[in-house]
Structure 1
Amino acid sequence: MTQAKPLIGISTYLEQSVRWGVWELPAALLPAGYHRLVQRAGGLAAQLPPDDPAAAAAVVSRLDGLVIAGGPDVEPVRYGAEPHPRTGPPARERDVWELALIEAALAAGVPLLGICRGMQLLNVARGGTLVQHLPETVGHEGHSGPPGVFERHEVIPVPGTLLARALPEPVSVPTYHHQAVDRLGAGLEVSAHAADGTVEALELPGAQGFVLGVQWHPEAGDDPRVMEALTAAARG
């Protein structure tokens, strides 16, 4: 018998004005790279638009795995900070919904992958903080290309980690972010870093299931191994 493909939920943007054809309306949307990567990795993709946070546990209970997608800056109030002048406008509805999804996944042991903003939000959910404008910390713009263009740089996995089992060697990854993990949240450990010391992946050792965050954008590249690790855990 062929094993059923795991159902992987992916959080989405909620935009107030999106144009297609003759229409311009509010829309929940997501770059196609996300669902294509899930499908390539052997999963079924389901988009999860923002909802009442009280519904998060019920939503997660229907899933075999959860992806918290990239997107806008996390509102600094979520980690007790004042906004930096370069921090983007808040996406409060999405922050609340995705934090509820993360908490529900952790409580239920549902495999969880955070991508870029998703990794940062996982850190915040565990009580960690963020660097609000990374170029001021590392002294260069190498983590983000021009507007709308991914940069590339190498990430170095930490041996023995969950990430290193999927990516055992240093790899060049597509990246686009100006914020990063600062103080680690409770129980989290770094599982990859960049040459400049920026945290590029983190995970929750000892957690029931699979809990991993990556700072880069695997959906914008051609390496499916991180998503394959999630779908493998989701099948389990």
Structure 2
Amino acid sequence: MTMVPPVAGRLIAVSQRVDVIAGRNERRDSLDQRWTGFLDACGLLPVAMPNTASPALAAAWLEAVAPAGILLTGGNDLTAYGGDAPERDAVEALLIEHAVARRIPLIAVCRGLQMMMHHFGIGLERVTDHAGTDHPVALDGGGTDTVNSYHNWGFRSVPPGFTAWATAPDGVVEAVRHDTLPLLGMLWHPERNAPYRAVDLELVRRHFRGDR
């Protein structure tokens, strides 16, 4: 008989992209299936957060699910920069506020990191040579890494209380962490590497689960 590990401390609320299907007049929430595999490899269970939730329903959802962590995923430009998914912006802003208020670990990836920086008052700028390529980043502790890149928007400064811990050669900040809150973000996509990189698995596992 297969034993299913307990879910306590393993549920991660995951934001979703919005796909607009014009021919069917539909707005669909969607999530790259690779996130399920990546989080499973970290010993975590994803629970998709709907984008259509009203603030009251979103609060009830968070109370019922009681996630141990929050993941803001990629996809969709922010509405402030030409995107067409304001409902996603609103839900992710609520998730950020929930993480800060409850001190719940949050990881923001690509668009998710752009959203977190926007939420804390940092403007974005269009970047070139950052979509569909790998490139080096300088790490704040010394040394370098090479990461994938799929984004068209970036930023060069961070809000008060945040530290940039990875920077591209052109000065675009690639990863941040908060100095006192459990907030972490990167512009690269750890779920898109095949196989997954050990350094990304360890980073996500430690941030969400500590030594568990």
Deviations 1:104-158 (A, max 9, x none): 1111111100000111111111122111x113xxxxxx211xxxxx311112221
Secondary structure at the residue paired with 2:161?
coil
Following the alignment from structure 1 to structure 2, what is the Cα–Cα distance between the partners of residues 217 and 8? 17
Any conservation in 1 of the 2:136–2:146 contact (CA below 8 Å)? yes
Change (3 A) 1:14 1:48: same
Change (3 A) 1:7 1:201: same
Give the alignment's Cα RMSD to 1 decimal: 2.6
Counterpart amino acid of 2:102?
A: A
Displacement, 1:185?
2.3
Change (3 A) 1:67 1:33: same
Secondary structure at the residue paired with 2:21?
strand
Instruction: Name the counterpart of 2:42.
Output: 41
Instruction: Name the counterpart of 2:31.
Output: 30
Instruction: Name the counterpart of 1:71.
Output: 75
Stretch of structure 1 that moved more, 26-35 or 210-219: 26-35
Any conservation in 2 of the 1:8–1:67 contact (CA below 8 Å)? yes
Tell me the TM-score normalised to structure 2 length.
0.83
Counterpart amino acid of 1:180?
A: G
Any conservation in 2 of the 1:60–1:105 contact (CA below 8 Å)? no
Instruction: Name the counterpart of 1:84.
Output: none
1:104 aligns with 2:98: yes
The runs of 5 or more residues in structure 1 that have no matched partner are 77-86, 136-141, 145-149, 160-167
Any conservation in 1 of the 2:9–2:68 contact (CA below 8 Å)? no
Following the alignment from structure 2 to structure 1, what is the Cα–Cα distance between the partners of residues 62 and 144? 33
Instruction: Name the counterpart of 2:186.
Output: 214
Any conservation in 1 of the 2:18–2:76 contact (CA below 8 Å)? no
Instruction: Specify which of 5, 14, 19 is matched with residue 18 of structure 2.
Output: 14
Following the alignment from structure 1 to structure 2, what is the Cα–Cα distance between the partners of residues 58 and 231? 27
Secondary structure at the residue paired with 1:73?
coil
Change (3 A) 1:107 1:58: farther
Following the alignment from structure 1 to structure 2, what is the Cα–Cα distance between the partners of residues 60 and 169? 39
Instruction: Name the counterpart of 1:151.
Output: 133
Displacement, 1:226?
3.3
Displacement, 1:169?
4.8
Instruction: Name the counterpart of 1:113.
Output: 107
Following the alignment from structure 2 to structure 1, what is the Cα–Cα distance between the partners of residues 183 and 33? 23
Any conservation in 2 of the 1:10–1:45 contact (CA below 8 Å)? yes
Displacement, 1:43?
0.6
Name the structure, 1 or 2, with higher relative contact order (CA <8 Å, separation 6+): 1
Displacement, 1:26?
4.2
Following the alignment from structure 1 to structure 2, what is the Cα–Cα distance between the partners of residues 18 and 69? 23
The runs of 5 or more residues in structure 2 that have no matched partner are none
Deviations 1:67-107 (A, max 9, x none): 1001122122xxxxxxxxxx543311111111111111111
Tell me the TM-score normalised to structure 1 length.
0.75
